C-alpha cells in the first residue's frame, strides 16, 4: 500500500465518525445486548425487592390472626362476668343464663357419654329433611310461577295469603295435625324454608334477560327447550340464594 493510502486509512480511523461507528458496532454486538439485559433485570429485581415488605416474625403473625377474635373473646368474658356476679342478685340466673364454663363442662360431659352426637344427628336429620322437601316442592313451583304469568295469577293469591303467617303461629295447628314428634318439628322448619325458596326461584325465572329469550326463539328453540337451556341456568343463582336463606 502506498504512503498516501496509509495516511488516509489512519486519518479515517482516528476521525470522530470512525470512532462512533466502532462504538456502535461494539454496542450492537450480542454480548453487549446480553449485558444490557442483565443490567435491566438486576434493576427490576432490586426495585421489586424494595417494594416487598420484609417478612414479619412468627409471633406478630399469630397475634394478627388472634386479633380477629377480640369481639368473640370480649363477648365470652362479659357473659362469664354477668352470669357469675348476676347470680348474687338473682339466683335463678344460674338456670336462665349459665356461665360459659358451665356450658363447656356440660358439653364435655355429654360428649363423653355419647349423647351430644345423637342430638346433633337428630337435629341435622330434621333440618335436612325439611329443607330438602321445601327445595323439591318450592323450586319447581317458583320456576313455574316465574315462567308462566297465567300460572302465577292463579297460585300467587293463595301463596300471598299464607306467606305472611309466621311459622311460630303454625305451632298449635301443627300439634293438632301431627302431634308432638318429629313430624311436627319438620313441618315448622318446612314452612320457614318453603317461602324463601319459592320467592327466589320465581324471581330468578322472571329476571332472565329478554335478549337471551329472544335469541333462543330466533334460533328456533321450543318453549320447553328454552326453559331447560336458558331460564333454568339463569335462575340458578337465585335458587341457591333461596336455599341458603331457607337453610
pLDDT in tens, 170-195: 888 888 888 888 888 888 989 889 99
Q: Classify residue 91 by its DSSP letter.
A: T
User: What pLDDT is stored for residue 136 in this prediction?
Assistant: 92
pLDDT of residue 18: 47
pLDDT of the residue at 30: 63
> What is the pLDDT, as a whole number, of residue 135?
92
- Sorted by sequence, the CB contacts under 8 Å of residue 159 that are 6+ apart come out as 145, 195, 198
Angle, helix 171-178 to helix 182-206, in steps of 10 degrees: 120
Cell numbers of 33, please? 445486548
* pTM greater than 0.75 (yes/no): no
CA torsion 171-173-177-180 (nearest 10°) is 30
Closest to 202 measured CA to CA, from 162, 159, 134, 145: 145
213 Cβ contact list (under 8 Å, min separation 6):
226, 230, 231
In this prediction, residue 175 carries a pLDDT of 86
CB distance 187 to 127 below 8 Å: no
All three cell numbers of 4: 498516501
Mean pLDDT, consecutive 10-residue segments, the chain of 247 residues?
48 47 51 64 63 65 72 86 81 78 85 83 90 91 87 86 84 85 88 90 84 79 80 86 86
d(CA 62, CA 2): 86
C-alpha distance across the termini of the chain, in Å: 101
- Cα-Cα-Cα-Cα torsion 11, 17, 19, 20, nearest 10 degrees, comes to -170
- pLDDT at site 137: 92
CA angle 66, 71, 75 (to 5 degrees): 125
The helix or strand, by DSSP H or E, that contains position 19, with its residue range, turns out to be helix 16-27
Q: What is the pLDDT of residue 222?
A: 80
176: its cell numbers: 293438632
pLDDT (tens digit per residue) in 149-175: 888 888 888 888 888 888 788 888 888
Amino acid at each position: 500500500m502506498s504512503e498516501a493510502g496509509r495516511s488516509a486509512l489512519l486519518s479515517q480511523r482516528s476521525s470522530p465518525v470512525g470512532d462512533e461507528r466502532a462504538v456502535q458496532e461494539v454496542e450492537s454486538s450480542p454480548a453487549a445486548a446480553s449485558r444490557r439485559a442483565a443490567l435491566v433485570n438486576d434493576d427490576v429485581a432490586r426495585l421489586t425487592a424494595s417494594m416487598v415488605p420484609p417478612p414479619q416474625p412468627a409471633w406478630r403473625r399469630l397475634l394478627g390472626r388472634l386479633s380477629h377474635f377480640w369481639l368473640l373473646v370480649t363477648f365470652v368474658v362479659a357473659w362469664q362476668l354477668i352470669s357469675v356476679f348476676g347470680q348474687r342478685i338473682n339466683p335463678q340466673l344460674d338456670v336462665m343464663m349459665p356461665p360459659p364454663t358451665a356450658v363447656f363442662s356440660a358439653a364435655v360431659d355429654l360428649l363423653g357419654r355419647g349423647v351430644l352426637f345423637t342430638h346433633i344427628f337428630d337435629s341435622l336429620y330434621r333440618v335436612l329433611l325439611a329443607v330438602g322437601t321445601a327445595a323439591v316442592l318450592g323450586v319447581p313451583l317458583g320456576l313455574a310461577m316465574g315462567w308462566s304469568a297465567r300460572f302465577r295469577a292463579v297460585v300467587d293469591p293463595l301463596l300471598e295469603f299464607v306467606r305472611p303467617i309466621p311459622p311460630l303461629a303454625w305451632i298449635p295447628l301443627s300439634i293438632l295435625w301431627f302431634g308432638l314428634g318429629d313430624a311436627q318439628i319438620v313441618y315448622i322448619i318446612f314452612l320457614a324454608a318453603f317461602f324463601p325458596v319459592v320467592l327466589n326461584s320465581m324471581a330468578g325465572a322472571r329476571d332472565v334477560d329478554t335478549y337471551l329469550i329472544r335469541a333462543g326463539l330466533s334460533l328456533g328453540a321450543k318453549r320447553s327447550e328454552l326453559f331447560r337451556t336458558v331460564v333454568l341456568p339463569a335462575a340458578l343463582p337465585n335458587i341457591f340464594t333461596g336455599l341458603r336463606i331457607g337453610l
